[in-house]
Each structure stands twice: as structure tokens, then as C-alpha cells.
A and B are shown apart, each in its own frame.
Chain A
Amino acid sequence: MKRITDILCVFRIHLARLRREAGPFVLAALIFPTAMYLFAVAVSGAEEISDEKRLRFLAGSIVFSLSMTSISWLGYLLLENRFTGRLKLFATLPLAPSSYIFGVIIFALAQAALGTTTLLIVARALGVRANVSIASLSLVVLLTMLCLCGLSVSIAARARSFSEGSLLTDSLGAGLVFLAPVYYSAQAMPAALSSVSKWLPTSFAASGVQTALTGNFQAGTELLALALMTLMTLSLGFRLMRWREE
């Protein structure tokens, strides 16, 4: 019970931040991904763009939004907590580091739900015809978020300085998306890059989201791979996050 209260309090502290300073979230999770969608449609060249392509771009933008929310924005908040001494306040409390992690993950998940829903509504207004499988989409979004949050927790726990950490989270947040074949097909990639890109969590995420947007449920290896990566990054995050300094 105490643990749930702790997690919810961590969540509420961060939610207050979002309520009072929503700008960065709106920009990173909504405006950029929408702009990227429009951009991808515009440069795709074809006169009459196929529904399949539109769905791929939409899936790309959703993954972009998730990545910005979980790595760039959340990573920034976690680094700020650490390097402005706020984490020291948590360290003074009988609060488990894992409760802190769960609290910020719930915060990130809430934003992911908000961001994804908004993007779907915007896409519909832009004429994208998706037949969304809510269960399937939720599962992929959940796994993607957990996996990427694990990365930002690890970076924020280990970065030696604010600038080192934010450089890492910024480049990862954008890089993971642009290295994955989300706005273009895998075939269009140079061979060397595509062998790397195949293994990125964002590639699995994009493919999972795209399947969910066509109303299908993607089981099989891709989701399993995403789940395995989630397990890895999260356990790393939980391991590295400690109140006590050596």
C-alpha cells in the first residue's frame, strides 16, 4: 500500500510539471511528429499516395512521438532531477528507488496514451483511414515505452554531467527513430545501416504499430524481441538507479 502511494506521489509530482509547463511535451510528442508525418507525405513523391504508405508514416510518427516522450523529454526530466539536487530530496525519504522509477514510467505512459490518441485523431482529420486494433496498439505502445524508459533511466542514473546526459538522450531520442525504417522502407537503406536498424527497438515498434493500425494483432517474433529488449533495458535501469553514492 505504501509502495503504491509512493509511486502515485512520484507520478503526481511530475504531472504537476506537465500541467504547468506543457510546452515541451506538446512540441516533442505532438507537433514534431505531426510535422514529420506531413513532411513524409509531401516528399514521398507519388501523386496519389497509397493508404499503406500513409499508415506507415503514421506508425512512424507515433513511434517518433513515443521516442521523444520517453527518451528526450523524460530523460531530460530525470537528468534535471538528478543534477539540480531534487533526487537528493527523494534520497532523504524512506522511498525505494524502484518506486521512483515506476512513478516516472507511469507518468511517461500517461503521456504516451495522450500523445498516441491525439496523433490518431489528427491523422483521421488528415484523411488517414486506419482500422485500429486498440488491444494490439496498446500492447506495442506499452512495450515500446517500457523499453525506451529503461534506456532513459539508465542514462540519467549514470551520466557524469547534465550536458553529457542530455546530449545522449537527445541523440538517442531522434536517432533511434531516424535509423529505423519508419519514414522510408527498409529496402531504401544502405545495407550496412539496415543490418543495424533491423535490431533497433524502434524498428520492432514501428512494425508493431503499423500492424495494429491495420486492425491486426501482431504476435510472433517481433513482439517477443521487443519484450526481451524491454526486459534488458528495464533491469539495467533498476540496477543502476540507486540513492546511495559509493
Chain B
Amino acid sequence: MTTSANKSIRAQSQTSAPDVAEENVVRVRGLVKRYRDGTAANRGIDLNVRRGEVVSILGPNGAGKTTFLRQLTTELKPTSGSVEIFGVNAVAEPESAKRMMGITPQEGGVFETLTVLEHFELFARFKGLRRREARLAAFDVADELGLGAEINKRVGHLSGGQRRRILIGLALLGRPPLLILDEPTTGLDPASRQTVWKVIRHVVAEGSTVIFSTHYMEEAERLSDRIGIIESGRLAAFDTLDKLFARLERSYRVEFSDPFDPLVEKSVRYFATFAEAQEHTASEQLSEYSIARASLEDIYFALTGERFVKAEEGEGA
């Protein structure tokens, strides 16, 4: 059995942003990455990101999100296709492109013998800040990310989540106009995650553009202007949340459990209207159920074909 919502997605594999009007700060065309061992991790991705936008990239493990982001950040050479960052050809001029980017890799190591202050300060210097500015930026970023109390602590003595915040902080130094963050909040506690959200909103308010990947639907919903879903190396969707919802023909979700065997996994069915959903619960004499609007998670599962629900198709398929 496969997801029922899957089939209710209107045939529409690519969408979005016409190349006109708004200024595109990121332009990606026909991006293909085939690793040496033959793995085709990105299979032709086209995408534009406008100035001041927050774009989140979702997709299952191994879908190609990191591969995609690492080509934007120039860490990985594309097999073919083009990447432009603020009009600079990032493939040909990686250093110029990197001057405009703050980057947090999915997995980066920190220099453990430096203190938090030294780490931020030295990396701010790499970004071209003068000594005084670098020090101020180091304190600012530490405060913003809730690391103020740890500023003189060695990075090697920090917890996993605190180190993760160091990596985010390094990207923020020098307030680059484009932030590219690969799973920035993975491993963070709920409060720290919200701190990061606040920081992202703040830099966007100051005019920066942000592209980040995440496995948290809530994070994507709350922060992004547009959401991209990568599936098997292709951009399966790239749109605003509203437009993604509009793609679901049946956007009411009934979740119910078997009253005689409550331990069995819950079943899910989708319906076009609330009335249809109610009708179903009545006709099936369901006693324990919930009806809700479909969420980003439903769209995600529909597009990535990841959820195998127990229920058959809903009415009106």
C-alpha cells in the first residue's frame, strides 16, 4: 500500500519563480552532480532565489540536499550546470562567490583548543573584518546565539549543541548577504532552535537571503517564504506553502485507530472537503479519530512517497 495523498497531488513536477521582476540572488541551472563512484546525487536542478527570501530545502536522507548546497557554496564541483551567486559564476570564481556567503556545513569540525571568542574573532578576520570590528562581531554573534556565558570557554569543552551554534555563528560573522545553512538546528534543544529561528528572522529583516535544509517540517513552515523538496536528486517541488497546499486535491486528513486494537498503527485517509471527511467517520462508525487540514508533512510524504499508510484510498479518488 502506498500513500493515498500521493496520487492526489496534481501532476506538476516543477514550478515556480518566473525569471523576471525580482532580483535573483541565486540562479541555478541544470545542476547535475555525479560522484566518482557513479552516484547521481543531483539530476538537473533549476532554481532561483530572490533577494530577502528564506528558502528551506527538505527531502529524505540521501536525497541530495547537502550535495546541492555544497555546490552552491563552491565546496563541490558540479558535474554540469551553472551556479550564480549575486551574478558571480560560483563555479569559475569560488572565492568571489564565497565573499558573499556565510556557510554552515552539515558536518564541520571546530578548532577545539580555541576559546569561543578566539574562534569567532579569527574567523571574522578571515572574512575581512578589522581587529576591532572582529572582536565586536565575535561578542555580538556569541550573544545572539546564547553563547555569551561561554565566550571564554574552550570550544573543546562545549556540548554538542553549543558547538553546532558555533558553526552557525561562524556563518553569521560579517553579516554576509547570503546564508547557506545545512541542517543548522539538528541536535539543538527546543530553546536553542528558537534562538536560531530568531537570528534567521533578524538577518532577513536586515536584508539577507537565507537558504537552509532541515528535517523539521515545523521549522520549514514557520521560517520559509518558499520550500523546496528534493527527492532522488530532483527538485520535486519548489513553492510557497500555500501553493504547495493548493496542489493537494484532497487536503483533509482523517486519522483513526482501530477501536478493537488500539496498539495497531493509526490509519490515514484524505478527503477533498471537511464534509466528506465527516461523512466517512460517520459511515465507518469511527469512535476515535481526528480530522485536520493536511500539513506540510502530508505534502512532503506525498511528494517523496515515503509514508506507507495502512488505509486504502479515500473517497472520490
A contact residues vs B (CB 8 Å cutoff): 2, 5-6, 9, 12-13, 16-17, 19-21, 81, 84-86, 88-89, 91-96, 243-246
- The answer to whether B108 and A13 have CB atoms under 8 Å apart is no
Q: Decide: A93 near B98, CB < 8 A? Known: A16-B114, A88-B75, A88-B109.
A: yes
Set of chain B residues within 8 Å of A2, measured between Cβ atoms = 128
Set of chain B residues within 8 Å of A16, measured between Cβ atoms = 111, 113-114, 118
Interface stretch, picked from B99-107, B140-148, B216-224, B256-264, is B99-107
Considering only CB atoms, which chain A residue lies closest to B94 in the complex?
A244
Of A5, A21, A85, A244, which is within 8 A of B105 by CB?
A85
Looking at the assembled complex, report how far the CB atom of A17 sits from the nearest CB atom of chain B, in whole angstroms.
5
Asked if B36 CB lies within 8 Å of chain A CBs, one says yes
- The answer to whether A88 and B74 have CB atoms under 8 Å apart is no
- The answer to whether B110 and A244 have CB atoms under 8 Å apart is no
Number of interface residues of B (CB under 8 A): 35
Classify the interface of chain B: helix, strand, loop or mixed.
mixed
Looking at the assembled complex, report how far the CB atom of B32 sits from the nearest CB atom of chain A, in whole angstroms.
14
Set of chain A residues within 8 Å of B58, measured between Cβ atoms = none
- The answer to whether B127 and A93 have CB atoms under 8 Å apart is yes
- The answer to whether B75 and A94 have CB atoms under 8 Å apart is no
Of B74, B76, B101, B107, which is within 8 A of A85 by CB?
B107
Q: Can you show 10 pairs from A to B with CB atoms below 8 A apart?
A: A13-B122, A16-B111, A17-B111, A88-B108, A89-B108, A89-B167, A92-B75, A94-B128, A95-B126, A96-B95
**Count of CB-CB pairs between chains A and B under 8 Å:** 84
- The answer to whether A89 and B105 have CB atoms under 8 Å apart is yes
B contact residues vs A (CB 8 Å cutoff): 36, 70, 73-77, 94-96, 98-99, 101-105, 107-111, 113-114, 118, 122-123, 125-128, 154, 167, 170-171
- The answer to whether A88 and B107 have CB atoms under 8 Å apart is yes
Looking at the assembled complex, report how far the CB atom of B217 sits from the nearest CB atom of chain A, in whole angstroms.
27
The answer for the CA separation of A221 and B88 in the assembled complex, in Å, is: 49
- The answer to whether B108 and A85 have CB atoms under 8 Å apart is yes
Looking at the assembled complex, report how far the CB atom of A3 sits from the nearest CB atom of chain B, in whole angstroms.
11
The answer for the CA separation of A208 and B240 in the assembled complex, in Å, is: 70
Of B74, B98, B109, which is within 8 A of A84 by CB?
B109
Set of chain A residues within 8 Å of B170, measured between Cβ atoms = 89, 92
The answer for the CA separation of A103 and B107 in the assembled complex, in Å, is: 24
Q: Decide: A89 near B110, CB < 8 A? Known: A13-B122, A243-B75, A244-B74.
A: yes
- The answer to whether B122 and A94 have CB atoms under 8 Å apart is no
Of A6, A81, A245, which is within 8 A of B126 by CB?
A6
Of A19, A88, A93, A246, which is within 8 A of B123 by CB?
A93
The answer for the CA separation of A141 and B70 in the assembled complex, in Å, is: 40
Considering only CB atoms, which chain B residue lies closest to A81 in the complex?
B109
Set of chain B residues within 8 Å of A85, measured between Cβ atoms = 105, 107-109
Of A13, A20, A244, which is within 8 A of B76 by CB?
A244
Looking at the assembled complex, report how far the CB atom of B256 sits from the nearest CB atom of chain A, in whole angstroms.
46
Set of chain B residues within 8 Å of A96, measured between Cβ atoms = 95
- The answer to whether B77 and A88 have CB atoms under 8 Å apart is no
- The answer to whether B77 and A244 have CB atoms under 8 Å apart is yes
The answer for the CA separation of A6 and B76 in the assembled complex, in Å, is: 22
Considering only CB atoms, which chain B residue lies closest to A5 in the complex?
B125
- The answer to whether A21 and B113 have CB atoms under 8 Å apart is yes
- The answer to whether A86 and B113 have CB atoms under 8 Å apart is no
- The answer to whether B171 and A245 have CB atoms under 8 Å apart is no
